[in-house]
Amino acid sequence: MAEFNTMRAAAGTRSAAIDAGLRAHMNKVYGTMSVGMLITFAAAWALAGLAVTDVPTAYQIGADKYLTSLGVALYASPLKWVVMFAPLVFVFAFSAMINRMSAATAQTVFYAFAAVMGVSISSIFLVFTGYSIIQVFLITAIAFAGLSIWGYTTKKDISAWGSFLIMGVFGLIAASLVNLFWPMPGLALAISILGVLIFAGLTAYDTQNIKNTYLQHAHSGDTEWLGKAAIMGALNLYLDFINMFMFLLQLLGNRE
């Protein structure tokens, strides 16, 4: 009996240690993601401020709004394609190379990616009113929090969602490219609605996957691997938030 009680106490101690480790892991994921979000929106806001002037120039974009030479280069020259697709190339390269990085390097690269994303989406401050950007951001934050909490706490296994949702993401990319070069009536609206739904599903799926990945490797004691897993988890949730925000902004944002 004494031996049984000792084994049960040891099992309880291990379980408590895993729970504490999981909480610390999720805190790191959300903390890293939040810093990335701050970098993105700070970079976007600062760049948009440098790109616009009220001094008349050759490139007018609204009442008493003109692009500076920097704005013309970023938004009205062939460089705009580099700015537009840079985050996509960056994230694929980052995902492919993270196993060869240290956790500290991976975190630094993630923050650099967040800054590049800020440059890419900075045009939202030229297109949409500041009030609507803040409003949609808050709506996205509330929706994201609810979906992520559900993904973390649900007993339902939603791992089967992954392949379906990823296929949906590639479909969105293809449809967006088609609409970019050959605009069709109603296609942009359909893309935005599907985008919100797909990234809402990915928010719940990625949260549960981050949790399960930690639980599967918690006994390994490989703190370096777990550190990189937290960075990848932060990257996935960051992308879910950014994409859901951008699609909601297309649906709900008020244009300048």
- In this prediction, residue 15 carries a pLDDT of 61
The tokens of 64 are what? 């008493």
- Structure confidence by residue, pLDDT tens digits, 122-175: 989 888 988 999 999 999 999 999 999 999 999 998 988 988 999 999 999 898
pTM surpassing 0.75? yes
- In this prediction, residue 107 carries a pLDDT of 92
- In this prediction, residue 10 carries a pLDDT of 44
Distances (CA, A) of 225 to 32, 39, 152, 217: 16, 25, 21, 9
* Structural domains counted in the chain: 1
- In this prediction, residue 250 carries a pLDDT of 92
- In this prediction, residue 253 carries a pLDDT of 82
Cα separation of 73 and 79, whole Å? 6
Residue numbers of the chain with a pLDDT score lower than 50: 2, 4-12
Domain housing 220: 2-252
Strand order in the sheet with 60-62: 52-53, 65-67, 60-62
